[in-house]
Structure 1
Amino acid sequence: MPGIDKGYQVDLRIKTLDIARQEIITRDNIPITIDTSVFYKVINPEYATTKIENYMRAVMNYTQGALRDVIGNMELDEVLTQREKISREIRKVVDEETREWGIEITQIKIQQIELPENMKRAMAVQAEKEREKRAAIIASEGEYEASKNIAAAAKVLSQTPGAISLRTLQTIQDISQEPSQKIIIFMPGEISNFLKKFE
């Protein structure tokens, strides 16, 4: 057409931009490396081609800056547990800047957060301690339940005439199934007679 030097074809579909890995220092001075992807689309082709020279590079730069600002104000525990919140905050910041170029940021996705090796080891040790603690609690709860059962059984036996003798006979039968061993068993009522021999 007269008066037009050249035309541009602009893809209006959602596109993905992988942000270069970058190291960021958290508020508690822990260096972490983050991989991030940006999902964006052109909503105004005219602005995208006339208001900025390279909107892809601009989106990348703004995203990197927003990552540093947001994560730099958070502690490591927050970063590891609040990825969705971080993504929303960064998307909001970058989208506000890029709207004037006709670009909409649809999503920011944190792909990976990598910790220093010493932090990985420390966290592994802490996780192992937590597992041991939970196992000890479970074991103690089991022992507590077993002790209650034993106490209840002892109460029943003490209140039932002949029950102790019957239980003793059952125990002797169980022992007899084991490999031959010389075992001395005192029946209830005989222990006191045995002890009198040594008086």
Structure 2
Amino acid sequence: MPLLIVVAVIVLYALNSINILKEYERGVIFRLGRVREAAAGPGIVWVFRPLETITKVSLRQEAMEVPSQDVITRDNVTLKVNAVITLRVVDPTKAVIEVANYIYQTSQFAQTTLRSVLGEVDLDGLLAHREQLNMRIQSIIDGHTAPFGVKVVSVEVKQVDMPESMLRAMAKQAEAERERRAKVIHAEGEFNAAAKLVEAAELMATQPMTLQLRYLQTLTEIGVEKNTTIVFPLPMELMNLLNKTFTAPKPDSPTTPSS
């Protein structure tokens, strides 16, 4: 009977010593307080308590949201900016023994880096070159997290909240820019139209009959529409005769003889 009790205790102790780690998990085992060189897993891992303890670490990527930070840009614009960081553990042993909580440590580095980097650029640079800023923030944070075995995969500035006054100013600026472009396009159209009219006038001046044809075409266009406009066509020869009469040079007035 005592032998059965001893066997049962040994079997229960052996079953309790079995730890199954998933494919994405690694176990950092401490034996008498000293860490083993390599992390164990995946699969079955034996941990003989109380001489040994195990700390499980996940190797999957984790998304961490950086809390909203108050940022003052280089052109003195106050913003609220938050970001999303994707990270993963590449060295489980360092992630356990080098820092108490690698997620909290990375979050603190991300907050300070986000404020310092975005404070060095102006508002237009932040809105136009967000990809370059993301890469810069990522490289800085990754330099801080590399000593404790954490790799920062990506950093994305998630949202930029601006004051209402700044939003109204940007809307006015955009509206003024659109009006400027509209005026420039309208002026270019007028210039092109004037150039074409000059070319048409020069061409019509070489052939007098083109004016007569244009006159008849205008009468045809007016006659198609059902309106109350009354048109009295005049012969072009009469118009030319009147033009020559009014434009003829006047004879010189006789001079009175001097006494």
TM-score (norm 2): 0.70
> Residue 9 of structure 1 is aligned with which of 53, 56, 60?
56
RMSD: 2.1
Distance 2:135 2:51 in 1: 40
Greater RCO (CA < 8 Å, at least 6 residues apart)? 1
Distance 1:154 1:172 in 2: 20
Per-residue CA deviation, residues 109-146 of structure 1 (Å, 9 max, x unaligned), is: 11121211111111111111111111222222222222
> Residue 137 of structure 2 is aligned with which of 74, 87, 90?
90
Distance 1:167 1:32 in 2: 64
> Residue 182 of structure 1 is aligned with which of 214, 230, 234?
230
Per-residue CA deviation, residues 41-100 of structure 1 (Å, 9 max, x unaligned), is: 101101111111111111111000001111111111111111112111111111111111
Unaligned runs of 5+ in 2: 1-46, 247-259
Q: Which has the larger radius of gyration?
A: 2
Look up the match of 1:169. 216
Task: Give the letter aligned to residue 181 of structure 1.
Answer: T
Q: What is the total number of aligned residue pairs between the two structures?
A: 197
Distance 2:113 2:155 in 1: 11
Distance 1:133 1:84 in 2: 30
Distance 2:80 2:233 in 1: 70
1:15 is displaced (CA, Å) by 1.2
Higher strand proportion, which one?
2
| Identical positions, percent | 30
For 1:1-199, what aligned pairs fall within 5 Å after superposition? 1-2=47-48, 4-178=51-225, 179-191=227-239, 193=242
Structure 1 runs of 4+ aligned residues shifted over 4 Å read 2-5, 184-187, 194-197
Unaligned runs of 5+ in 1: none
